Structure 1
Amino acid sequence: MHLARQSFNLALFAAAVSTFMSLVGAGFLLTEKANDGAVTAAEGMAEACAMRSAC
């Protein structure tokens, strides 16, 4: 039971980080403060970090 709750919390955290990074990235793209590659790379790194939960 504890492992299931921990897995759910990790997945929820990863989804929240991904959503936040997507919104921030969209804001940067709309205001032309970052290029497509930088936003994509930042999202990928944040998602990988959230999934590992050991950054």
Structure 2
Amino acid sequence: MFEQFGVPVCEVTYVRASDEFIFVRFRPQERFCFDSIDLAAIEIYDSLYELRHTF
């Protein structure tokens, strides 16, 4: 779970059976599956950056 200013922004879950990272963004509600932690990290960074710059 990743938060910015106490507001939940996104969540990443690792699924060992399929070796995938499930990325869920809360605003807007989106869900992506990645096979690389690097791709998930980019989405996390983008989500946090986007929320920080909307205020």
**TM-score normalized with structure 1 length:** 0.50
Larger Rg: 1
Which structure has more helix as a fraction of its residues?
A: 1
**TM-score if structure 2 supplies the norm length?**
0.50
Normalized per residue, the structure richer in strand is 2
